[in-house]
Structure 1
């Protein structure tokens, strides 16, 4: 499984716009067959920061998602609207037996 974490900082005048775009993006991603989960959260310690958590079946599925024009447009809009660098990190996860 692939886990993607990300973050974007908002400003009072752009917060609603950025949040709306983020929610649309998460909903669109969850409709993908290989998306195991995609959420956006408000940081409890900094309400101007949105945090993304994504779960994908594999790297190919995540790359296919990012490559879609509407997702590239989302990334471009986040870069344009946010006053700070947009964060993104990708991790590979392996099952761990609990028993």
Structure 2
């Protein structure tokens, strides 16, 4: 399993637009093969920050996701609309026995 986290800090005047784009990206990504979950959350301490949390079956599925043209378009669309990005962090996780 692969876990991915990241965050972006939107400009106040672009927040609604960035949130809408982020939600569209999340909904589209959830339909990709290998996506277990893909979420975006508004930070309760800084409401201009959006936090992404993704769960993928394996590295191949994640690489495919990053290569999808719509994913690239989403990332490019953030230029000029955000103040900063935390960068993507990728974690390999073992399944937790039940």
TM-score, length basis structure 1:
0.92
- Output the CA distance in 2 between the equivalents of 1:17 and 1:7: 16
- Output the CA distance in 1 between the equivalents of 2:93 and 2:78: 27
Comparing 89-98 with 61-70, greater Cα deviation is found at: 89-98
Give the aligned partner of residue 97 of structure 1: 97
Give the aligned partner of residue 29 of structure 1: 29
Give the aligned partner of residue 43 of structure 1: 43
Q: Does 1:59 align with 2:59?
A: yes
Give the aligned partner of residue 72 of structure 1: 72
Residues 1:4 and 1:92: Cα distance change in structure 2 (over 3 Å) = same
- Deviation of 1:40 (Å): 0.2
- Output the CA distance in 2 between the equivalents of 1:3 and 1:37: 9
Structure 1 unaligned residues grouped into runs of 5+? none
Instruction: Extract structure 1 runs of 4+ deviating beyond 3 A.
Output: none
The Cα offsets for residues 3-56 of structure 1, whole Å up to 9 and x where unpaired, read as 000100012210011001100000001111210000000001110100000000
CA-based RMSD of the aligned residues comes to 1.3
